[in-house]
Amino acid sequence: MNLLEINHLCKFYGGSLGIDDLNLSVAAGDIFGFIGPNGAGKSTTIRILLNLIFPTSGSARIFGLDVVRDSKKIRSRTGYVPSDASIYDRMKVMDFLKYVTSFYRVDNIQERIDRLLEVFDLDPGRKIAELSMGNKKKVSIIQAMIHRPELLILDEPTSGLDPLIQSRFFDLLHEENRQGTTIFFSSHTLSEVQSFCKTVAIIKEGKIVAVEEIATLRKKQLKKIQIHFPESRNIRDLGIQGIGQAESDRGRKLVFMFSGSINDLIGKLASQQIENLSIEEPSLEEIFLHYYK
Amino acid sequence: MNGILFRMELRRNARSLIMWTLIISALIFFTMSFFRTVLLYQQQIAGMIQIVPAVAVKMRGFSNINDIFSIMGFYTANNLIYMMLLGSIYAIMLSSNILLKEEYGKTAEYLMSRPITRNDIFYTKLFVAFLNVFILNVIATLVGFISIHIFKNTECDFYPFFVISLYTLFLNLLFGSLGVLISVLMKRARPVTSFCIALVMVLYFLHTISRMSGVDGTFGYISPYKWVDVSVSQPGYGLEGWRTAAFLGTIALLIAGAGFIYRKKDILT
């Protein structure tokens, strides 16, 4: 059953495009990665889902409810971490969390607050104005999770968090997901969601270019290869399978995307004279260009 | 109306309300305390006024020269500046910021992702703004009432006092409604305080100019200051139906317009 469904959603800001004819569905219980470069339309989509902005055309439903007409009901069952928002600076962390909680009916609320504060190692007595960017992000995450929402919408939630806290955060998200929370995770870094999400949608210039199971992406195992030969060579002459479009610098320096077997590649190169070889994780943009150009 | 948001907003705006109330009340009281001195030097002041152009007297807020020597006239002229001008500036500043500050302060996404409707947010915040304006008016009126009691030289009828106080409240609420409308019309998330203060000043001076020039036609009615009847010493002075209707009707229209726009607008981020 789909928990979230987006149908032909469009948003224009005056004459400029936000998102265009966006279609997407997220199954209940999924951990869904929503990936795209900055300005691709990720936050626009999320803001429409929460009725912070209105769609120009199209529709979206969460829990089977319309995001414009039934936004209050949807928000009572949803938690949201904005990508770039400020928290009321004059309040203390605990006062803010209690203020947030007062909007919901939550059992054992103090226990829940204490548990989240412990996970994120946050001092509840501090004023929000005095917190670092990372600590403010922790407050933002806690306020979204405090009422045990059925759907968590996270817009770039890890920016500012140190690796240790990021790891605890992902563990916590897995725990929440096991208890039935669906997670919609927006990020511009594929590597961040690759190990965490079950499904990933790729958005570029306001359009969905692909929706893939992470398992399928993993099977593709795309690598970025750079080879420096002492003299000009044509890589295709080596008969290696899985070489994408190659860029060549006078035939001596070759850069290409590789989706074949690394063993096969190394085996074939072993018999060649090479000056340098590098195998890298490709950037998100490079993966997109490889598969979806 | 949302009780949680109401309490939060009341707390957030309390400091500003206390500050404005203290300043305006102090100004009213201290200015009224000069009334006895004015009476003491009545002859000299009357002589000075003879050489002052009548327009200057009107500009200061007196309907006619003799108002200076009546406690009610003296109060009304000062009330015009302290409550009708400063009170309106407070009202428009408060109301223009009460919704917009969530957007330029980047807190709107936290507020609006809660289970609360746009209507709840709009009317709760508007109610807090109006309540603050009302509290300011009640306290300032009380201070005025006490000041008149303390400094009056003869017994006076308080009916005109309550009428002018009611007109002042209407005027302040009208500017409060105008501030809310301006804030929802904004296309960029930034404070509109300077523009709102300038607007109040322009409308005030428009009214003053119309009084000084004696042009009492439609020109003067552009400014809501013109809708207030300040001739407290005139026989039969009271609350006029058309003035009350003009104030309440305009307030209702401004609020309805602002609410309609707010329900349909994209939150500025």
Are A85 and B107 in contact (CB < 8 Å)? yes
Contacts of B262 in chain A (CB under 8 A): none
Helix (H, G, I), strand (E, B) or coil at A248: strand
Those residues of chain B whose CB sits closer than 8 Å to some CB in chain A are 4, 8, 12, 105-110, 112-117, 264, 266-267, 269
Length of chain B, please?
Answer: 269
This complex has an ipTM of 0.82
Nearest Cα residue in chain A from B120: A72
**pLDDT per residue as tens digits for the range B92-102:** 999 999 999 99
- B-chain residues within 8 Å CB-CB of A54? 264, 266
pLDDT > 70: what percent of chain A?
96
Residue in chain A lying closest to B12 (CA): A90
Which of chain B's residues have a Cβ under 8 Å away from the Cβ of A103? 4, 114-116
* DSSP per-residue letters across A118-149: HHTT--TTSBGGGS-HHHHHHHHHHHHHTT--
Which residues from B are below 8 Å from A53, CB to CB? 266-267
What does the pLDDT average to over A153-180? 92
Give how far B1 is from chain A: nearest CA, Å.
13
Across chain B, which distance is largest between two alpha carbons, in Å? 67
pLDDT at B47: 79
User: pLDDT value at position B157?
Assistant: 85
Average pLDDT over residues A69-96: 92
Whether B110 sits inside 8 A of A104 (CB atoms) is no
> In sequence order, what E strands does B76-117 have?
none
Identify each DSSP E strand in A29-74 by its residue range: 31-35, 57-62, 65-66
Query: DSSP letters along A140-209, please?
Result: HHHHHHTT--SEEEEESTTTT--HHHHHHHHHHHHHHHHTT-EEEEEES-HHHHHTT-SEEEEEETTEEE
B108/A78 CB distance under 8 A: no
pLDDT reported for residue B54: 67
Contact by Cβ (8 Å): A135, A178? no
The encoded tokens of residue A119 equal 């996970």
DSSP state of A281: P
Q: Do B115 and A76 touch (CB under 8 A)?
A: yes
The structure's pTM equals 0.85
Q: Which pLDDT score is estimated for B217?
A: 60
**pLDDT for A251-291, tens place per residue?**
788 888 888 888 888 888 888 888 899 998 776 567 766 76
Chain-chain contact of A99 with B105 (C-beta, under 8 angstroms):
no
Q: Mean of the pLDDT values across residues A157-163?
A: 88
Buried/exposed code over B77-108 (b: 16+ C-beta within 10 A; e: otherwise): bbbbbbbbbbbbbbbbbbbbbbbbbbbbbbbb
Cα dihedral across residues A85, A91, A94, A98: positive or negative: negative
Q: Three-state DSSP class for B70?
A: coil
- pLDDT band of A219, cuts 50, 70, 90: low
A24-33, A69-78, B216-225: segment of lowest average pLDDT: B216-225
For B160-228, the DSSP string reads HHHHHHHHHHHHHHHHHHHHHHHHHH-SSSS--HHHHHHHHHHHHHHHHHHHHHT--SGGGGGSGGGGS
| A2-13 vs A57-62, strand pairing mode | antiparallel
Picking from A61, A79, A57, A77, the residue whose alpha carbon sits closest to that of residue A69 is: A61
Q: Under a CB-based contact definition with an 8 Å cutoff, are residues A206 and A19 in contact?
A: yes
Q: Which of A158, A184, A171 is nearest to A74 (CA)?
A: A184
CB–CB of A73 and B267 under 8 A? no
Q: Please tell me the distance in Å from B136's CA to the nearest CA on chain A.
A: 24
Amino acid at residue number A74? I
Record: contact A82-B267, CB cut-off 8 A: no
B94 close to B133: Cβ distance less than 8 angstroms: yes
Mean per-residue pLDDT for A61-65?
Answer: 96
pLDDT of residue A265: 87
Minimal Cα–Cα distance from A104 to chain B, Å?
8
Find the chain A residues whose C-beta atoms sit closer than 8 A to any C-beta of B.
47, 50-54, 71-73, 75-76, 78, 80, 82, 84-88, 90, 99-100, 102-104, 140, 143
The residue ranges of chain B whose pLDDT is under 70 are 53-66, 213-219
Q: In chain B, what percentage of residues exceed pLDDT 70?
A: 92
φ, ψ for residue A240, nearest 5 deg: -90, 135
Give the Cβ contact number of residue B260 at 10 Å: 12
- A293 has a pLDDT exceeding 70: no
In sign, the C-alpha dihedral spanning A292, A194, A279, A241 is negative
At B256 the pLDDT is 97
Per the structure block, which two tokens stand in for A81?
Answer: 């971490």
Determine the distance in angstroms separating the CA of B267 from the nearest CA of chain A, rounded to an integer: 6
Encoding tokens for residue A254? 């070759």
Amino acid B55: pLDDT: 66
Averaged pLDDT, A8-28: 92
- Chain A nearest CA to B27, separation (Å): 30
Contact B8 A100 (CB under 8 A): no
CA of B4 vs chain A CAs: smallest distance (Å): 7
**Which of A72, A85, A90 lies closest to B110 in CB terms?**
A85
Give pLDDT, residue B64.
Answer: 65
Does residue A27 contact residue A1 with C-beta atoms inside 8 Å? Answer: yes
Work out the average pLDDT over A48-77: 96
Quote the pLDDT of residue B105: 87
Is the pLDDT assigned to residue A154 strictly greater than 90?
yes
B269 contacts A51? CB cut-off 8 A = no
A contact test, residue of B13, B110, B117, B188 with most A CBs within 10 A: B110
Look over chain A and give the mean of its residue pLDDT values, rounded to a whole number: 88
* pLDDT at res. B242: 92
